[in-house]
């Protein structure tokens, strides 16, 4: 199994919206990707919550049966379509994939 974790820190304002609005839009777009390829397991998107420690605004935690399933997700047109918006609103991005 491959675990794929991505975190984004967003700009204060971008694409005509504030950070919180863009974070909610990112979550909606990512949530819509749940189950788009075979071999995708857990797929969880969360936003930073007031009162809890967070250095990033949006996090994706996902699991894939194998590297082929992860690659299928990364190359899927629905996932690719997210990239322009995400690039426009993000300030930083961190990613880690690891096999268990």
Reduced to 3 states (helix: H, G, I; strand: E, B; else coil), residue 49 is coil
- Is there a contact between 29 and 84 (Cβ–Cβ < 8 Å)? no
- Using the structure block, give the residue that is written with the tokens 């322009």: 84
Dihedral angle over CA of 47, 52, 53, 59, nearest 10: -20
Would the pTM count as exceeding 0.85?
yes
The fold adopted by the segment(s) 2-99 is: Alpha-Beta Plaits (3.30.70)
Q: Which pLDDT belongs to residue 85?
A: 98
Q: Which pLDDT belongs to residue 4?
A: 98
Going by their DSSP bridges, the two strands 13-14 and 17-18 should be labelled as antiparallel
Residue pLDDT tens, the chain, 100 long: 999 999 999 999 999 999 999 999 999 999 999 999 999 999 999 999 999 999 999 999 999 999 999 999 999 999 999 999 999 999 999 999 999 9
Length of the chain equals 100
């Amino acid at each position: 199994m491959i675990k794929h974790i991505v975190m984004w820190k967003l700009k204060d304002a971008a694409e005509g919206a504030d950070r919180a609005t863009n974070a909610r839009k990112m979550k909606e777009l990512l949530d819509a990707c749940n189950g788009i390829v075979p071999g995708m397991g857990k797929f969880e998107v969360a936003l930073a919550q007031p009162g809890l420690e967070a250095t990033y605004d949006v996090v994706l935690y996902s699991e894939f049966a194998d590297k082929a399933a992860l690659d299928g997700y990364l190359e899927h047109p629905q996932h690719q379509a997210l990239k322009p918006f995400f690039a426009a609103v993000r300030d930083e991005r961190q990613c880690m994939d690891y096999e268990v």
